[in-house]
Amino acid sequence: MRKAKRTAIWSHRGRLSAAPGGPENTLAAFRDASRAGVDGIELDTWLTSDGAFVVHHDRHVAEGGLDELTRAEIPPTVADLLDAIAACDVPTVNVELKVAPDAARDLAASLGTTLALYLLAETGERVASGRIVVSSFSRSALDAVRDAAGGKGSRGGALQTSYLVDEMPGPDDLEGLVDAGHGAVNVHHRSLDAAGAARCRSAGLGLVVWTADDEDDIRRLYDLAVDVVISNDPVTAMRMRAG
């Protein structure tokens, strides 16, 4: 991931407001967030049982588990990943690959490979320009994305990858991420302090922080000079960044 000259603001799931019940992970939300001028949009994707990537945060809809249903069994209001990416007219799209918590390591890796090959084949221009970042809480899935995209140190058509964590990893784990070819860490804002930010920078990794909505939290992250703030209220975050 390219290091930002200033902190970039990404809309969390395409949201523009932290108020409960707002639209998220929909084509309309992605278009609205794009028009608002955010630097990036974070969205979530699941692989259906018949090999389609759909955009939704939770694993389950009324019809069942997204990874257990066919695309035809899922409501059309749940967007296809390619349509979602097309609706994001922003410099960066962060695709979070969802993996069921009980998924075996081999299955998680297969999901990562499948997503990487899909994105490389279907969104080549965005990939080549570094505009798509894949993140996941599953290290097995993320390593497979990295391998399918060319492995450590690959350039050009390689996908950018970022490891999602609740807490900042220790120095050895950060070095392991670098060795595996990952470019950044996506960490929860409450677990980030100055020491953690310094460890991340020392390892040469980008620092993406989620999901900060409170003005005091956003201000603290600006003071830490993180690369990206993901927010449900990106309008406020952009206003604060502007001074």
Contact call for residues 99 and 136 (beta carbons, < 8 A): yes
Instruction: With 0.85 as the threshold, say if the pTM is over it.
Output: yes
Task: Work out the average pLDDT over 211-239.
Answer: 97
The rounded distance, in Å, linking the Cα atoms of 97 and 112 is 8
CA angle 112, 185, 26 (to 5 degrees): 60
* pLDDT for the residue numbered 159: 86
CA dihedral 164, 167, 169, 170 (to 10 degrees): 170
Q: pLDDT band for 124, please (50, 70, 90 cuts).
A: confident
Question: Nearest CA to 232 among 6, 87, 36?
Answer: 36
- Residue 20's SS3 state is coil
Strand partners, 186: 164, 208
Fold that domain 8-241 belongs to in CATH: TIM Barrel (3.20.20)
Task: Give, in order, the Cα–Cα distances in Å from 170 to each of 37, 104, 174, 178, 220.
Answer: 35, 25, 6, 13, 21
* pLDDT for the residue numbered 150: 80
Residue 28 or 127, more confident: 28
Q: pLDDT band for 163, please (50, 70, 90 cuts).
A: very high
The rounded distance, in Å, linking the Cα atoms of 231 and 9 is 7
Domain boundaries, the chain: 8-241
Instruction: Please list the alpha-helical segments (H only) found in the chain.
Output: 27-36, 81-87, 105-122, 124-128, 139-148, 171-179, 194-203, 215-223, 234-241
* pLDDT for the residue numbered 128: 66
In this structure, the number of other CB atoms found within 10 A of the CB of residue 50 comes to: 10
* pLDDT for the residue numbered 152: 58
The rounded distance, in Å, linking the Cα atoms of 174 and 169 is 6
Length of the chain: 243
* pLDDT for the residue numbered 125: 76
